[in-house]
C-alpha cells in the first residue's frame, strides 16, 4: 500500500498568505471598485537594475551561438560568480570565506528548507517567534515536530520570542538546542542584531555544539555601519554557522531567482560513531545529486550585481525601499502608532492600536482604508497584536496608503 508523508497533514491549513488572499478576494467581490493597495507580501515592485538586464541580454545572445552556447553548468554555480561573491560579500568584510564554500542556488527559500536533508531526525530545533514560516513548515514536513497547538506552535520546537519586551532581540535559550534559525535583519519584525548579540549566539553554538542557520536575505538593507552583514564577521562563526543569502531583495530577483548558501569547510559534525564529517561535503553531494544549477543567463545577471554599475544601481533600489520604510514609520508615528523596524530593513512592524488582534486590525485596514498588510500572528503566537507593513511598493502607493491610514486613525 502506498504511504504518504503524513507529516504534511500536520501543517496548519490556513497558511498566512492564502488566508490573506481569501479575505481580500471576498472583500473585492463585494466591493469591485475598491482601490486596494497591497503592502502585505514581501515581494519587490521595482524593475531589475540595468546592469543585470544588460548582462542577461548578452548571455541570451551567447546561448544563441554555437561557439558560446552553454549546457549544464556546475551544480554549485559558475566559478566567476562564486569568486565575486566570496571577494565582495565576505572577504571585503574581513570574512575568510572561499569561493568553493559558496553554493549558488535558485532561492534562499529552497535552501533553508533543503538544508534539512543533510541533518538527522533527532535534532532539537529552535526558531524565533515571530518567524519566517518556511523554517517551521519545512521542519514539520521533515517529520521533526509534533502537532500544532491552538496558537499554531508545534510540539518539539523551541520558540524564542522576539517582542517589544526584549527589544526584539532573540534571547539565548537556557536549554541546549542543536539547530537554531536566526534571521537578521529580521522578517517580519525588521529588527537587527548587533555584533555583541550575534557573538553571544556564536559562543552559545560553539559551547553547545549547535549549528546556526543564519538567514541574511535582507543584509543589503543594513545602513548602520556598526551592524554585522554576515555571521562570519563574528569570531568562531565559521565553525558553527551556515549562511543563506539571496539576490531577491537587494537586486529585485524575486522572479528571476538566484541566491546562495555558504557552508564553510571548517564546519564539522560528529557521527554517532564519533567520526568527524564536513557538512560542506554533504551539502556538495546533496546539491550535485538533487540540483542542476541556476541558469547561465541568471548567473550572469547576478554577477552584474558585483560590477561598479550594478553596485550603484542596487544601492539606489535599496535606498528607494528604505525611503518608503521611513515614510511609513513617520506617518504612522504621527498618528500615535508604536512602530519598530524599517530602518535597516524593508519591514515596519506596527503595534496594533486599541488592543486589536492582528486579524481584526487587518480587517479594519482592509475595510476602512483598502490597504492590505500582514497580520503579525500569522508569523507566530508572539506576533499577535502586531502587524507587518512592507516597504516594497511604488512611492505613489506608499504615500496614498499612508494618507488613508493617517486619516482613518487620526
Report the interface residues with ligand PLP, using CB under 6 A: 42, 107-109, 132, 183, 187, 215, 217, 246, 248, 254, 259
8 Å CB contact between 326 and 333 = no
Q: Are strands 259-262 and 102-105 parallel, antiparallel or unpaired?
A: antiparallel
Cβ distance to ligand PLP smaller for residue 132 or 405:
132
Taking the C-alpha atoms of residue 210 and residue 202, their distance in angstroms, rounded to an integer, is: 9
CA dihedral 40, 316, 218, 385 (to 10 degrees): -30
Cβ distance to ligand PLP smaller for residue 114 or 358:
114
Q: Which of 396, 406, 410 is nearest to 35 (CA)?
A: 396
Closest residue by beta carbon to ligand PLP: 107
Q: Least distance to ligand PLP from the beta carbon of 134, Å?
A: 7
Q: Least distance to ligand PLP from the beta carbon of 259, Å?
A: 4
Q: Is 167 helix (H, G, I), strand (E, B) or coil?
A: coil
Q: What are the residues facing 350 on neighbouring strands?
A: 339, 387
Q: Is the dihedral of CA 108, 128, 380, 354 positive or negative?
A: negative
Taking the C-alpha atoms of residue 283 and residue 196, their distance in angstroms, rounded to an integer, is: 29
Cβ distance to ligand PLP smaller for residue 89 or 331:
89
Cβ distance to ligand PLP smaller for residue 254 or 268:
254
Q: Least distance to ligand PLP from the beta carbon of 409, Å?
A: 27
Cβ distance to ligand PLP smaller for residue 84 or 257:
257
Q: Are strands 347-351 and 339-341 parallel, antiparallel or unpaired?
A: antiparallel
Taking the C-alpha atoms of residue 112 and residue 110, their distance in angstroms, rounded to an integer, is: 6
Q: How many CA atoms lie within 13 A of 139 on its CB side?
A: 27
Q: Least distance to ligand PLP from the beta carbon of 50, Å?
A: 21
Cβ distance to ligand PLP smaller for residue 84 or 388:
388
Q: Least distance to ligand PLP from the beta carbon of 239, Å?
A: 23
Instruction: Give the burial class of 219: count Cβ atoms within 10 A of its Cβ; 0-12 exposed, 13-18 middle, 19 or more buried.
Output: buried
Q: Least distance to ligand PLP from the beta carbon of 186, Å?
A: 8
- Which residues, 6+ apart, have CB-to-CB distance to 279 below 8 Å? 118, 211, 242, 263, 267, 268, 269
Cβ distance to ligand PLP smaller for residue 116 or 183:
183
Cβ distance to ligand PLP smaller for residue 44 or 51:
44
8 Å CB contact between 255 and 36 = no
Q: Least distance to ligand PLP from the beta carbon of 135, Å?
A: 9
Q: Least distance to ligand PLP from the beta carbon of 176, Å?
A: 25
Amino acid at each position: 500500500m502506498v504511504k504518504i508523508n503524513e507529516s504534511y497533514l500536520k501543517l496548519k491549513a490556513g497558511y498566512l498568505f492564502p488566508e490573506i488572499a481569501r479575505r481580500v478576494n471576498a472583500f473585492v467581490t463585494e466591493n469591485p471598485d475598491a482601490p486596494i493597495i497591497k503592502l502585505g507580501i514581501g515581494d519587490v515592485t521595482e524593475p531589475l537594475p540595468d546592469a543585470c538586464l544588460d548582462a542577461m541580454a548578452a548571455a541570451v545572445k551567447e546561448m544563441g551561438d554555437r561557439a558560446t552556447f552553454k549546457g549544464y553548468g556546475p551544480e554549485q554555480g559558475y566559478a566567476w560568480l562564486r569568486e565575486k561573491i566570496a571577494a565582495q560579500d565576505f572577504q571585503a568584510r574581513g570574512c575568510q570565506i572561499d569561493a568553493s564554500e559558496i553554493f549558488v542556488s535558485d532561492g534562499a527559500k529552497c535552501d533553508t528548507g533543503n538544508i534539512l536533508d543533510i541533518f538527522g531526525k533527532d535534532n532539537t530545533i529552535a526558531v524565533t517567534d515571530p518567524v519566517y514560516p518556511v523554517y517551521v513548515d519545512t521542519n514539520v514536513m521533515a517529520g521533526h515536530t509534533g502537532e500544532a497547538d491552538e496558537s499554531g506552535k508545534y510540539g518539539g520546537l523551541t520558540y524564542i520570542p522576539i517582542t517589544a519586551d526584549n527589544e526584539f532581540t532573540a534571547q539565548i535559550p537556557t536549554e541546549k538546542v542543536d539547530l537554531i534559525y536566526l534571521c537578521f535583519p529580521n522578517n517580519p519584525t525588521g529588527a537587527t542584531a548587533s555584533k555583541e548579540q550575534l557573538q553571544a549566539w556564536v559562543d552559545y553554538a560553539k559551547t553547545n555544539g549547535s549549528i546556526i542557520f543564519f538567514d541574511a536575505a535582507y543584509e543589503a538593507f543594513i545602513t548602520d555601519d556598526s551592524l554585522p552583514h554576515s555571521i562570519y564577521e563574528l569570531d568562531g562563526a565559521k565553525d558553527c554557522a551556515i549562511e543563506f543569502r539571496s539576490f531577491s531583495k537587494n537586486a529585485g530577483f524575486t522572479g528571476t531567482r538566484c541566491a546562495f548558501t555558504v557552508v564553510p569547510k571548517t564546519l564539522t559534525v560528529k557521527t554517532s560513531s564519533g567520526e568527524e564529517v564536513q557538512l560542506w561535503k554533504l551539502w556538495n553531494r546533496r546539491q550535485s545529486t538533487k540540483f542542476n544549477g541556476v541558469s547561465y543567463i541568471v548567473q550572469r545577471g547576478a554577477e552584474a550585481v558585483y560590477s561598479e554599475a550594478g553596485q550603484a544601481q542596487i544601492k539606489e533600489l535599496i535606498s528607494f525601499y528604505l525611503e518608503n520604510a521611513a515614510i511609513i514609520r513617520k506617518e504612522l508615528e504621527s498618528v500615535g502608532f508604536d512602530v519598530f523596524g524599517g530602518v535597516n530593513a524593508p519591514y515596519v512592524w506596527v503595534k496594533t492600536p486599541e488592543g486589536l488582534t492582528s486579524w481584526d486590525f487587518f480587517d479594519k485596514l482592509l475595510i476602512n482604508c483598502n490597504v492590505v498588510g500582514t497580520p503579525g500572528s500569522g508569523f507566530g503566537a508572539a506576533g499577535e497584536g502586531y502587524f507587518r507593513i512592507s516597504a516594497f511598493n511604488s512611492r505613489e502607493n506608499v504615500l496614498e496608503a499612508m494618507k488613508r491610514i493617517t486619516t482613518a486613525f487620526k
